[in-house]
Amino acid sequence: MDINDSATANDSANDSANDSAQEPAADASAPQSGAADARAAIRADSHVTLHYRMAVLVDGEERELVNTFEAAPATLQMGVGQWSPDLEERLLGLAEGQTLDVAIPAAEAYGEHNPELVYTLDREQLEEQCGSDLVYAPGESVELQFMGELPVRGTITQCDDDSAVVDFNHPLAGRDMRLKVAVIGIL
């Protein structure tokens, strides 16, 4: 049974907006006799148990970030920010037993890297907000609060005795990705 046979009108509209490489593939072990119509489909507020593999593309090679296929499955609560909205959108309409394997451009994953979110801060500013006992080194994560706003997390990309460059982009911004998912259960 083709997954599009059981798609709702909204799913059909979404499917036509996506190319075939992004359509979920029916799992060969899933029931094929119309039983898919009775299975729950992922909605924007679902709790989903799934196996997934997420990788970024670096210099044309996949660099795996996480892979639960050979471990315990993960649980994802849709709509609360565990994954980017664009990644979650790709799961909508999938049913238990279905799989998805898709390449995702950076702009549709965690966004393009925005150079306006990279700041050079003097050591005094950092120590005032983060404490003087923090180790300032490339790769370290810092949380800062600017002008009464909510705290924001950034990553130190460069530093010396006087200042540090802090990138407030999402760590996966600007990275093309590959996402593989196998849906186990939906609530």
Is CATH 1.10.10.10 correct for 115-167?
Answer: no
Q: What is the DSSP letter of 41?
A: B
Position 13 scores a pLDDT of: 35
Position 144 scores a pLDDT of: 86
* Nearest-angstrom CA–CA distance, 164 and 121: 5
Q: Per-domain residue ranges for the chain?
A: 3-111+173-186, 115-167
Architecture of domain 3-111+173-186: Roll (3.10)
Q: Mean pLDDT of successive 10-residue segments in the chain (187 residues)?
A: 33 38 42 53 97 94 96 97 93 97 95 96 87 84 81 93 94 95 97
Position 69 scores a pLDDT of: 97
Position 37 scores a pLDDT of: 52
How far is CA 156 from each of CA 41, 118, 150, 160, 164, rounded to the nearest angstrom?
Answer: 41, 10, 19, 11, 7
Q: What is the DSSP letter of 34?
A: S
Q: Return the CA Rg of the chain.
A: 20
Position 130 scores a pLDDT of: 83
Position 173 scores a pLDDT of: 95
Six-digit token pair at 140?
């370290």
* Nearest-angstrom CA–CA distance, 79 and 76: 9
